[in-house]
Structure 1
């Protein structure tokens, strides 16, 4: 059985965990405060969920999910994630994270910075443009008319496929937007950031994005 290792268990992380468990995955959840603070969430998720340290969650993961504020990415374990697909749900918000000139002028993306830290892993941008509650509320079976789509961006085709298959299995169509350098197209204040869209609508929104 595939294990999803979550580094971060806030709004987005806990919702991904709920959908993963509901669709047959094991999950290992972690946060910066320690596994003892996740007792209630694990009890809700049931027998397919455990709490752990971030290092343990990273080591257990077949697919890892980094879902912490951007300014905290230096705390993400490195070695246990080597060779693994790593979903990056983060967004850069200068009000919270402090100004980063290379992100302000679009010369780099936040996911590229995470990829640089996790040089041996395969970072895939996903889940950054959906409200947390919609991860459970909007999920539908494959083939459903009008099914919501989510975008993925990544530099490794195999990792993109693994993450896309996971997203499809928990309730959403997928649009592969290309490499991490293009992931600015689904950042804050772009047409695709936030609203519910089908795959065709999302492709149009990604193309319409401007720096």
Structure 2
């Protein structure tokens, strides 16, 4: 498939290298221009382009940017074909993104994103930590393979999203509609806890919507105390231990 990725932070970089290594034609873009994209991001065949170019003549666009940046890229996404699958990996962290009244009032994050973009989306790779995504992928059928929930409203979008998750080394778990994707938001038992396909249904089922923001903020506080600067991601094992202790 032809894939455009906007955003090459911790998640976007791994998606660029794994999906291009899997044989896809991958274009990557960031906010600063193609000349600023490092050779490590392009090491398996991805090509550096502008954000606009990343949305042209592609089957899939992956948005791997902070949720606060969704509105900035919305004009580009509104211009792509309705047949193009748009996958969003973002999560709402008010200490980073600023306060968004609609989400604070209870709107599901994925539905807020879809509303800003003016089109259906797929929610995927938001519920796995960047360290686990980079380090813990494994072939299909591997015992204990980590599952990644995928939510979408359109069946073809869901099929494509699940296929790509599998190709990044994880079991794609059908998490239902975007309206139910709050179950894979920060603070939920299935968020960044590295569960298997067998464990994921129970974790999604027991999620308690009203408790997610407080649990999310507790995890952030523990991680920031550990890493100090508020920007550095914890190592995969530490992040999973904290999420499991607080959110499950």
Q: Using the TM superposition, give the Cα deviation of residue 127 of structure 1 relative to its aligned residue in structure 2, in angstroms.
A: 0.6
State which structure, 1 or 2, has the greater radius of gyration over its C-alpha atoms: 2
Higher strand share: 1
Structure 1 residues 151 and 182, CA gap change in structure 2 (3 angstroms)? same
1:63–1:86: 8 Å Cα contact kept in structure 2?
yes
Mapped partners of 1:149, 1:91: distance in 2:
18
Residue aligning to 1:119: 118
Gap regions ≥5 residues in structure 2: 210-248
- Name the Cα RMSD after superposition: 1.5
Task: Verify: 1:69 aligned to 2:66, yes or no.
Answer: yes
C-alpha distance in 2 between matches for 1:181 and 1:160: 14
Residue by residue, what CA displacement relative to the aligned partner does 1:158-187 show, whole Å, maximum 9, x if unpaired?
A: 100111011112211111111111111111
What residue number does 1:209 align with? 207
- Runs of 4+ deviating beyond 2 Å: 39-45, 80-83, 117-120
- Work out which structure has the larger RCO, using CA pairs closer than 8 Å and 6 or more positions apart in sequence: 1
Partners of 1:102 and 1:200 lie apart in 2 by 33
2:17–2:46 Cα contact (<8 Å) kept: no
- Unmatched 5+ residue regions in structure 1? none
TM score, norm. by length of structure 2:
0.78
Kindly indicate whether residue 47 of structure 2 is the aligned counterpart of residue 50 of structure 1: yes
Q: What is the alpha-carbon distance in structure 2 between the residues aligned to residue 116 and residue 199 of structure 1?
A: 30
Using the TM superposition, name which of 6-15 and 175-184 deviates more: 175-184
Label 1:156 to 1:43 Cα distance change in 2 as closer, same or farther (>3 A).
Answer: closer
For 2:220, the equivalent position in structure 1 comes to: none
Partner SS, residue 117 of structure 1: helix
Deviation at 1:91, TM superposition (A): 0.3
Matches within 5 A, 1:1-211: 2-45=1-44, 48-76=45-73, 77=76, 78-80=78-80, 82-106=82-106, 108-120=107-119, 122-211=120-209
Change (3 A) 1:187 1:29: same
Structure 1 pair 97–111 and aligned structure 2 pair: CA distance change class (3 A)? same
Shift of 1:81: 5.1
Partners in 2 of 1:119 and 1:105 — Cα distance?
A: 20
SS in 2 for 1:195: coil
Distance 1:140 1:10 in 2: 22
Q: Work out the CA distance in 2 between the residues paired with 1:149 and 1:103.
A: 26
Separation in 1 of the partners of 2:42 and 2:69?
A: 27
